[in-house]
């Protein structure tokens, strides 16, 4: 590991990799320090023998057509497929085609963000009361809450309406209502960035756990351990791309960094206005796509062979999806917010058992039947991972300007990137992370000139 370079980048997620490629390509000497033994951050793709579809343990979908992702993939001739299929909903163990999206869209479109900020829960209770107990409206209210917790990994009582509206407007700019997957999974994107970093002479140091940054204007010393051996490296500029919850962690905890002197007060206040969402996802692999032949009781003989997403009110794993249009015998279980809190820290056997029980309840099938089809399950507990401490970030009530403050450079010495610092409304996304890395690289190059 170099003891001195032009820029030290902390974190080899896509934000750090994208920034390093730009900086190295501009002729600067760049050293990336990555705590894990792999690169990619919260992108974590596994390729399993006998399963053609990659197993995504982290980010999976490309939301819309963001140039930050599409340009990289298309230039490398990576094929991209759109998610297709039917949406099914299950109530009391009886799946049927979903019929709530029209009213759900009406609820979400009423959010305009022009008034005082409030939580999504308060907005729902204020604008969409249901004193008469209308079952359709109540279902739409519950689906709206499920959307905020599931899609945004957010607490409806904490997440700010202004933040949600900004995200919705950003999605409209890139056809964000459409979802895609890259051939080979998101690992294809990481590999492209890794190759570009190599061509730019960027040094990637895996297993380097940063513990402290001692800094002053024009110089920073980065200290930590690698394979149990202490190290210190210095640079006139350091780019920090750590996940929000790691930045919020108390110094001394694994993965946390002690800044000396402390970060500027404005940045510390920004950290308190943002929150890390919680998610547990499990990919279940079966011997065959048994749902292709499964016809629910109220479906008039229709099977689930075209099922893409399956929504339910299950307490443990309320949302599921298949690999459509690929025909792999795998289905992903998604547990956000409170469900994730209950599952996080539990052993793999417990999580798998709860997942099979949930799927059985949702489909109205016995766990015994599901176990005869079950082959394997894959998951990663991001909440218990000290180098992520959660899924992705969101803005709380009153968080206007927090992402900008978090991403603002300190004395042209410390720079910040990562999805939590995105200011375009793409917080929590891979393309938002890449954009933040490119923004930080531009700031560093401007400071060098």
CATH number of the domain bearing residue 240: 3.50.50.60
- The predicted pLDDT at position 93 comes to 86
Total domains present in the chain: 3
User: Pick from 55, 54, 19, 59: which is nearest to 40 by CA?
Assistant: 59
CA dist., res. 225 & res. 210, Å (int): 7
DSSP annotation of 18: H
CATH number of the domain bearing residue 330: 3.90.660.10
- The predicted pLDDT at position 104 comes to 84
- The predicted pLDDT at position 118 comes to 97
- Are residues 241 and 285 both part of a single domain? no
- The predicted pLDDT at position 297 comes to 73
**% of the chain residues with pLDDT over 90:** 87
Assess if residue 68 is contained within a domain: no
- The predicted pLDDT at position 283 comes to 97
Each residue of 213-250: pLDDT tens digit?
999 999 999 999 999 999 999 999 999 999 999 999 99
- The predicted pLDDT at position 440 comes to 98
- The predicted pLDDT at position 427 comes to 95
- Are residues 58 and 37 both part of a single domain? no
Which pairs count as long-range contacts for 290-295, CB under 8 Å and 24+ apart, including other chains? 290/373, 291/322, 291/331, 291/363, 294/363, 294/365
Q: pLDDT confidence of 100, banded at 50, 70, 90? A: confident
- Are residues 406 and 444 both part of a single domain? yes
Mean pLDDT of the region 191-206: 98
The last residue of a domain, from among 151, 173, 195: 173
CA dist., res. 44 & res. 95, Å (int): 31
Q: Transcribe 396-449 into DSSP letters.
A: BTT-TTHHHHHHS-BTTTEEE-SGGG--SS-TTSHHHHHHHHHHHHHHHHHHH-
Which pTM does this prediction carry?
0.96
Q: Residue 313 sits in which domain range?
A: 45-63+179-184+277-379
Q: pLDDT confidence of 139, banded at 50, 70, 90? A: confident
Assess if residue 92 is contained within a domain: no
- Are residues 117 and 142 both part of a single domain? yes
Assess if residue 337 is contained within a domain: yes
- The predicted pLDDT at position 49 comes to 84
Contact 222, 10 (CB under 8 A): yes
Cα-trace Rg, the chain: 22
- Are residues 285 and 362 both part of a single domain? yes
Assess if residue 90 is contained within a domain: no
């Amino acid at each position: 590991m170099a003891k001195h370079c032009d820029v030290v980048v902390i974190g080899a997620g896509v934000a750090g990799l994208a920034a390093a490629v730009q900086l190295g390509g501009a002729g600067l000497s760049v050293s990336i320090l990555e705590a894990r033994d792999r690169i990619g951050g919260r992108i974590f793709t596994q390729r399993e023998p006998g399963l053609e579809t990659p197993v995504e343990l982290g980010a999976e979908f490309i939301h819309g057509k963001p140039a930050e992702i599409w340009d990289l993939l298309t230039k490398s001739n990576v094929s991209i497929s759109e998610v297709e299929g039917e949406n099914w909903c299950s109530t009391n163990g009886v799946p049927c085609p979903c019929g709530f999206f029209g009213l759900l869209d009406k609820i979400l479109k009423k959010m305009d963000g022009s008034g005082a900020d409030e939580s999504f829960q308060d907005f729902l209770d204020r604008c969409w009361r249901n004193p008469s107990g209308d079952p359709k409206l109540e279902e739409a209210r519950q689906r709206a809450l499920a959307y905020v917790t599931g899609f945004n990994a957010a607490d409806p009582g904490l997440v700010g309406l202004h933040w949600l509206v900004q995200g919705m407007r950003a999605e409209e700019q890139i056809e964000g209502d459409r979802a895609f997957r890259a051939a080979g999974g998101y690992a294809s994107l990481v590999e492209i960035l890794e190759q570009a970093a190599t061509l730019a002479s960027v040094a990637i140091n895996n297993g380097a756990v940063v513990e402290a940054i001692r800094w002053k204007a024009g110089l920073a010393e980065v200290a930590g351990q690698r394979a149990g051996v202490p190290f210190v490296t210095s640079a006139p500029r350091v780019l920090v791309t750590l996940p929000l919850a790691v930045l919020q962690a108390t110094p001394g905890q694994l993965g946390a960094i002690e800044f000396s002197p402390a970060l500027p007060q404005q940045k510390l206040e920004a950290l308190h206005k943002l929150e890390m969402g919680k998610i547990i996802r499990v990919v279940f692999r079966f011997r065959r796509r048994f749902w292709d032949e499964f016809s629910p009781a109220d479906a008039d003989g229709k099977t689930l062979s075209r099922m893409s997403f399956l929504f339910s009110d299950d307490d443990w794993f309320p949302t599921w999806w298949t690999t459509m249009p690929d025909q792999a015998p795998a289905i992903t279980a998604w547990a956000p917010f409170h469900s994730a809190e209950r599952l996080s820290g539990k052993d793999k056997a417990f999580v798998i058992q709860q997942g099979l029980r949930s799927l059985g309840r949702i489909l109205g099938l016995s766990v015994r039947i599901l176990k005869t089809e079950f082959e394997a399950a894959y998951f990663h507990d991001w909440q218990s991972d000290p180098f992520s401490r959660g899924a992705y970030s969101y803005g709380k009530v009153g968080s206007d300007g927090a992402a900008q403050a978090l991403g603002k450079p300190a004395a042209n010495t410390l720079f910040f990137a990562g999805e939590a610092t995105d200011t375009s409304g793409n917080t929590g996304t891979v393309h938002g992370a890449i954009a933040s890395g490119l923004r930080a690289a531009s700031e560093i190059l401007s400071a060098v000139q």
